[in-house]
Amino acid sequence: MLTRTISGAVMVALLIPCFIFSHLILLEVIFALLCLAACYEMLGCLGKGNAWFISIPTYVIALGLPFFVRQIDTGIPISELILVVFIVYMFYVLGVAVFSHGKHTPSDIGLLFTMIFYIIFGFTSFIAIRSIDSKGAFLYILVFISAWISDTGAYFTGVLFGKHKLIPDVSPKKTVEGAVGGLFFCVLAFLLYGFILGKYFDRSPDYIILGIMGFFLSLVSMCGDLIASLIKRQFKVKDYGNLIPGHGGIMDRFDSTIATSSVLFVLLNIPYIVQNII
């Protein structure tokens, strides 16, 4: 527990400069590297890490898309750029399945594409959210609030009150009571964040939207955690990596974050939400 706490504190300390200087290229550099590491871990988990004709194109996209999505003005909307990149990647990996003579089955390639898209889209979405005009500097913080407050709230509520297992076949330690606690504290944190923005940053938060978003993104955060756990159980691995002592790998720590950033980015493409949330 002590190792996990220290590692978590160090990780937060390393990310603080990214938040402070999020308008600079440092944010893209850090998140491109995190995306690369997460893809490396996922390919290893799926048994495709040594297949260079799969791993190299994957790593190029993992580094390039989060890094360049804000730095290069292609004239193409971010969502459409991401779609184009992954259509090309989809046909490429399907081609690998066709010409691999059964070594890489369609089901293997389908899962690989799904998980790699999930990871890269998640990290890229975070940069895209930060790029939203004057609101981006406030909106991207919601990703971490929903992921980390949900996780922390669920953990402590589960430890104190947990009696009923949530989905024991996927994640034996998670409880229904913990999930409810995570939802409660996430909604509370969203409302508190809105209050802080209104009082000290001259924003006009819509507390109804914030409350609903807090509830929904907390659910998404838990689903992201469960999805990552399901893949680990399917391939019989304890952790995706060992980069972060007490936590495992990048995927073990950012599984909820990439889920919430993906969904938040999609929701912020709805004009009413992005115009009124804060």
Domain ranges (residues) in the chain: 2-276
Distance CA 36, CA 235 (A): 21
> Which comes out higher in pLDDT, residue 78 or 251?
251
Q: Are 240 and 251 in contact (CB under 8 A)?
A: yes
pLDDT over 80 (residue 74) = no
6-14, long-range: CB within 8 Å, 24+ apart, which pairs? 6/245, 6/246, 7/244, 7/245, 7/246, 7/247, 8/246, 8/247, 11/244, 11/247, 11/253
Q: Which of 85, 90, 38 is nearest to 64 (CA)?
A: 85
Q: Are 18 and 27 in contact (CB under 8 A)?
A: yes
Distance CA 44, CA 39 (A): 8
Segment among 39-48, 94-103, 106-115 with least mean pLDDT? 94-103
In Å, how far from its chain's centre is CA 162? 26
pLDDT over 70 (residue 196) = yes
Q: What is the mean pLDDT of residues 50-57?
A: 92
What's the pLDDT score for residue 81? Answer: 85
Query: How many CB atoms are closer than 10 A to CB 81?
Result: 18
> Which comes out higher in pLDDT, residue 68 or 160?
160
Distance CA 3, CA 1 (A): 5
pTM for the model stands at 0.91
Burial of 223 (0-12, 13-18, 19+ CB in 10 A): middle
Q: What is the mean pLDDT of residues 211-226?
A: 96
What's the pLDDT score for residue 184? Answer: 96
